[in-house]
Amino acid sequence: MTIKEVVRNYSKRLKEVTHIPAKEVEILICHILEKNNIWLHLNYNNEFTQIKTLEKLLLKREKDYPLEYLIGKASFYGESFLVKENVLIPRPETELLVDNAVEILKDVKDKTVLEIGTGSGVISVMLALLIKDIKIIAVDINDDALSLAKENAKKHNVEDRITFISSDLYTSIDKDEDIFMTISNPPYIADDYKLPKNVKYEPSNALFGGKVGDELLKNIIDETSSREIKYLLCEMGYDQKKPLENYLNNFDIDQYSFYQDYEKFDRGFTIEFK
């Protein structure tokens, strides 16, 4: 079969899994052949000989196994990042968290940013790429995540500006460390929430934030305030704005704001402490 025929025939198997079945088959073919999308379409009428390899990948994808894990990469902020099992897959809405941080950091120099729960490292790496004069400390409790984040920092040539530390929130961070901003996309889903099938393949400790879901967020707010860090930027759940806004009444704050994601759901906040 030609590549064109393979895409047409095999995309039928993914119609119940994705709204872009043909596109996903193309992505898998590019992954197998180690080619890009431009090459694929220029060679659409070429014979495709690796059907068995494609079928193995499709068998997993049919069971909602994430496409990003199958191809070992994900796009974030227009850049390609490595992804692996047992590490959270980057989401497009987290780009907004980076945008908000850049807006604050672009006019300051030589400041230290702490990222809590770095995962694959996409936030820290992008900040290092976008802000020249920056020092970043990136922490996670997942050794697989830290290893992957280091790989991504090296891939994007910013490993000299990011220090990776194994830490549960602030636990391993020296209290004398002069941190200007903390940024985090922490677990914020309630423990009893029923996840979509594809998300179940991702690490639960990067998703579930406690019985209510906002417990870790509140812990981060507490500790950030007690350490007298100027800024805190976090992603959050769509239904957490009101309880978190009420919680902020307990702190001495200059100003705060919430933002929405691409689907107009409440998705995160910025706090400037006094």
Q: What is the CATH number of the domain that holds 196?
A: 3.40.50.150
SS3 185: coil
16 and 150 housed in the same domain: no
Average per-residue pLDDT in the chain?
97
Residue 197 clears pLDDT 90, i.e. is over it: no
Establish if 68 belongs to a structural domain. Answer: no
Task: Give yes or no: residues 117 and 37 share one domain.
Answer: no
Helix 51-61, helix 3-10: angle, nearest 10? 30
Regarding whether 180 and 127 lie in a shared domain, the answer is yes
- In this prediction, residue 148 carries a pLDDT of 98
The two structure tokens encoding residue 222: 């507490």
Q: Which residues contact 167 (CB under 8 A, 6 or more apart)?
A: 139, 140, 141, 173
**With the C-alpha atoms ordered 37, 23, 87, 97, is the resulting torsion angle positive or negative?**
positive
Query: Is 77 part of any domain?
Result: no
Work out the average pLDDT over 244-261.
97
Domain extent for 91? 86-273
Where do the H-state alpha helices sit in 106-167? 122-130, 143-155
**Long-range contacts, 99-102 (Cβ 8 Å, 24+):** 100/233, 100/259, 100/268, 100/270, 101/127, 101/181, 101/183, 101/233, 102/127, 102/130, 102/131
Question: Is residue 90, in this structure, part of any structural domain at all?
Answer: yes
Region 79-96 average pLDDT: 97
Confidence check: pLDDT of 138 > 90: yes
Write out pLDDT tens, residues 14-62: 999 999 999 999 999 999 999 999 999 999 999 999 999 999 999 999 9
Residue 267: per-residue pLDDT: 98
In a domain, 33, yes or no: yes
How many whole angstroms separate alpha carbon 39 and alpha carbon 37? 5
Co-location of 102 and 133 in the same domain: yes
Domain end, chosen from 48, 63, 78, is at 63
51 shares its domain with 166: no
Q: What is the pLDDT of residue 274?
A: 93
Are 143 and 258 within one domain? yes
- Whether residue 201 lies inside any domain: the answer is yes
Which pLDDT score, from 0 to 100, does residue 90 have? Answer: 97
Could you tell me the pLDDT band of residue 198, with boundaries at 50, 70 and 90? confident
0.85 cut: is pTM over it? yes
Q: How far apart are CA 178 and CA 186, in angstroms?
A: 22
The answer on 54 and 121 residing in a single domain is no
Summarize pLDDT for 140-178 with one digit per residue, the tens: 999 999 999 999 999 999 999 999 999 999 999 999 999
Domain co-membership, 234 together with 193 = yes
The tokens for 86 are 């047992």
Number of domains present in the structure of the chain: 2
Over residues 199-225, mean pLDDT: 96
Beta bridge partners of 47: 2
Residues 18 and 153 in one domain: no
Q: Are residues 94 and 22 in the same domain?
A: no
